[in-house]
Amino acid sequence: MNTIPTSQTVDLATVSLRELNQSLHRLGDRTNLSHWRILNPRGAHALACGLDADVTVEVDGDAGYYCAGMNKRATVIVHGNVGIGVAENMMSGRVYVKGDASQAAGATGQGGLLVVDGNTSGRCGISMKGIDIVVKGSIGPMSAFMAQAGSLVVFGDAGDALGDSIYEARLFVRGTVKSLGADCIEKPMKDQHRAELYAKLKEAGVAGEVDVGEFKRYGSARTLYNFHVDNASAY
């Protein structure tokens, strides 16, 4: 009896990145190859970008710039560190980074979930538009700059100018915030916000790792939505 394979292993030491990405892009809704394992990524850029299928891609090692960028529906797991722009402009699906992430993690993301086990560098969640980001370490400066929608949850600390020029994204930080950006303020953490945070952590599979009561909530003061001369110094 012949069995239909459901997994595929690709070794980037012998297969080109272009060939891999082309194979992933050709996957349709009826594909049987639901699990892909990538060996020897060696910091390759644009790895597993532009996916649009209900598949899981596991990367055994470090990835370079824009890993899992423009992801839609797929689950991408990186067993290592990633470079600039992981999950950039993600639409849906899930991206898990088991190490650290460089700058602009989850930038402009419109949906889906990004989880980073380690730390992220500056501008994490810049201009996020609906993505949910959970960072189990700390984040660098200018994170959530011009963040429009979605949520950023940080177990550790946040660098300078958190939430600068923020719109309606929701920020939850457990550690110390070095400074807040223009128009970003601390807001009361009520029961409804604790429930919201718990739901985000549960979705990310980390609800049991922290106490939601230890987090502070930050968001927009809404003073920059329209120009007012009294707020001119904040622009």
Strand 149-154, strand 216-220: pairing:
unpaired
Distance CA 150, CA 107 (A): 12
Element (H, E) at 132: strand 129-135
* pLDDT above 50 for 1: no
Interval 21-48 mean pLDDT: 91
> What's the pTM?
0.93
**183-232: pLDDT as tens digits:** 999 999 999 999 999 999 999 999 999 999 999 999 999 987 765 666 66
Report the topology of domain 7-224.
Pectate Lyase C-like (2.160.20)
Give the list of residues 6+ apart from residue 36 with CB closer than 8 angstroms, or none.
Answer: 7, 8, 9, 10, 24, 55, 56, 57, 58
Distance CA 193, CA 212 (A): 9
Query: What pLDDT is attached to residue 40?
Result: 98
**57-102: pLDDT as tens digits:** 999 999 999 999 999 999 999 999 999 999 999 999 999 999 999 9
Domain boundaries, the chain: 7-224
Distance CA 165, CA 184 (A): 7
Residue with tokens 């899992």: 68
Strand 170-173, strand 56-60: pairing:
unpaired
Selection from 135, 124, 201, 205 nearest residue 164 by Cα: 124
For residue 181, the one-letter residue type is: G
Angle, vertex CA 194, rays to CA 197 and CA 221, nearest 5: 85
**In this structure, how many other beta carbons lie within 10 angstroms of the beta carbon of residue 1?**
2
* pLDDT above 60 for 25: yes
Distance CA 129, CA 124 (A): 13
**CA separation (Å) from 150 to 61, 170, 171?**
29, 6, 9
Query: What pLDDT is attached to residue 218?
Result: 98
